[in-house]
């Protein structure tokens, strides 16, 4: 198996020599530049294949000052929503021939995330993507004015050029409206973390829908997205039969259903429950969960589109309209008039 010279991997000069051209011509072929005769191009491509040559990203990055790598900061959890977004973003990035440098960071405070971002910057990523971070952390990062584009997946009351989101607000309103229209007297809200942007938007949607329906308002109860927190809150809270509960995600809903069961409150007869996300298990819990479905695949694509735009023509970047959601009605809050 001994190649020419200690069988080190081929470089652009090896290819050039084999194809009988200069290294610059090889470079032109590699970068799809015009002004290369088809016959020459073919010879070069043949040489590339024969030597199993692939250009060194390091050498390229050194001179172009672009790494074709995007830094992705994911929350240090395995929650369905964030994980789905991350995964779909990964697909989209690959389709655009970008690499993803991923880093999981518990997003407890700005310092934590700052460290993660600094790590990515040291890698000279071309852009940074943040997934549903704490609202204050998000603000802190936005204020940083890094010299690399930063795009975040997070909901806000008004569209922002550097944010991409699913329409949590309208999704929440639809969920609450459904409960009210199904005859529940009012709707309580078991919310996500108080500073999570998506949680805030769901809460806002709930609050405004309650207000516009002139239903009785109650204070929101904040969980931490986990089933355990949903269970705890639903166990401790004073719930009247006839009320609906809008839970900010499906995992917490599972905890809520468990608590209601223990307390002898029947769902949907005594209490209606609507979740958010439509996790794959939502149809199979008992009772099956009415919930708000989000199109994470589309979000991943849009995230990447925005990244490309910010990297390539930062000036043209404008607000992105949040993606719509869809209410999926199941047994925990069936349609009744």
Partner DNA sequence: AACAGGGGTGTGAGCGCTAACATTCGGGCA
Partner DNA sequence: TGCCCGAATGTTAGCGCTCACACCCCTGTT
The residues binding its own copies (CB under 8 A) are: 54, 56-62, 67, 69, 72, 74, 76-78, 80, 83-84, 87, 90-91, 94, 99-104, 119, 121-124, 226-228, 230-231, 251, 254-255, 257-258, 261, 280-281, 283-286, 288
- Greatest Cα pair distance, the chain, in angstroms, is 84
Helices (H) and strands (E) in the chain, counts: 12, 11
| Residue 22 in the binding site for DNA (CB under 7 A) | yes
Angle at 136 between CA 134 and CA 140, to 5 degrees: 115
Distance of closest approach, residue 126 Cβ to DNA, in angstroms: 14
Tell me the closest approach of the beta carbon of residue 11 to DNA, in angstroms. Answer: 3
- Are the CB atoms for 33 and 52 separated by under 8 Å? no
Site string for DNA, 57-96 (x = CB under 7 A): --xx-xxx--------------------------------
Residue 22 contact partner, candidates its own copies, DNA, none, CB within 5 to 8 A by sort of partner: DNA
In the beta sheet, which residues pair with residue 277? 293
Residue 28 near DNA by CB under 7 A:
yes
For the bound state, the minimum distance from the C-beta of residue 26 to DNA, rounded and expressed in Å, comes to 7
Q: What angle do CA 204, 210, 211 make, to 5 degrees?
A: 90
Contact partner at residue 67 from DNA, its own copies, none, CB < 5 to 8 Å by partner kind: its own copies
Determine the Cα–Cα distance for residues 175 and 329; give it in Å rounded to an integer. 9
Q: For DNA, give the closer residue by CB, 53 or 225.
A: 53
Say if residue 30 is preceded by a cis peptide, omega within 30 of 0: no
Question: How far apart (Å, rounded) are the C-alpha atoms in residues 241 and 266?
Answer: 9
The residue assigned the tokens 């970008």 is 98
CB of 328 to DNA, least distance (A): 48
| Whether 223 contacts 252, CB under 8 Å | yes
Binding site for DNA (CB under 7 A): 8-9, 11-13, 20-25, 27-28, 30-31, 34-37, 39-40, 53, 55-56, 59-60, 62-64
């Amino acid at each position: 198996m001994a190649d020419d010279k200690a069988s080190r991997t081929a470089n652009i000069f090896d290819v050039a020599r084999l194809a009988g051209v200069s290294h610059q011509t090889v470079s032109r072929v590699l970068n799809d530049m015009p002004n290369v005769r088809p016959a020459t191009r073919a010879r070069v491509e043949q040489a590339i294949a024969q030597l199993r040559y692939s250009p060194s990203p390091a050498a390229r990055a050194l001179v172009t000052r672009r790494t074709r790598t995007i830094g992705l900061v994911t929350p240090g959890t395995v929650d369905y929503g964030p994980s789905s977004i991350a995964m779909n973003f990964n697909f989209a990035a690959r389709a655009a021939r970008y690499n993803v440098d991923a880093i999981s960071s518990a997003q407890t405070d700005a310092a934590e995330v700052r460290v993660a971002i600094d790590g990515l910057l040291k890698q000279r990523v071309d852009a940074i993507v943040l997934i549903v971070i704490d609202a204050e952390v998000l603000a802190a990062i936005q204020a940083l004015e890094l010299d690399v584009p930063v795009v975040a997946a997070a909901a806000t009351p008004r569209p922002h050029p550097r944010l991409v989101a699913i329409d949590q607000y309208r999704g929440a309103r639809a969920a609450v409206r459904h409960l009210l229209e199904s005859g529940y007297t009012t709707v309580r809200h078991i919310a996500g973390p108080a500073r999570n942007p998506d949680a805030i938007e769901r809460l806002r949607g709930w609050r405004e829908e309650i207000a516009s329906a002139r239903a009785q308002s109650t204070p929101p109860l904040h969980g931490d997205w986990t089933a355990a927190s949903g269970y705890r809150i639903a166990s401790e809270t004073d719930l009247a039969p006839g009320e609906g509960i809008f839970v900010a995600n499906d995992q917490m809903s599972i905890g809520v259903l468990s608590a209601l069961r223990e307390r002898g409150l029947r769902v949907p007869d005594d209490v209606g429950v609507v979740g958010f996300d439509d996790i794959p298990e939502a149809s199979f819990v008992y009772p099956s969960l009415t919930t708000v479905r989000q199109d994470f695949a589309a979000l991943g694509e849009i995230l990447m589109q925005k990244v490309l735009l910010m990297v390539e023509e930062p000036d043209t970047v404008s607000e992105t309209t949040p993606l719509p959601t869809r209410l999926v009605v199941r047994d925990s809050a069936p349609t009744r008039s």
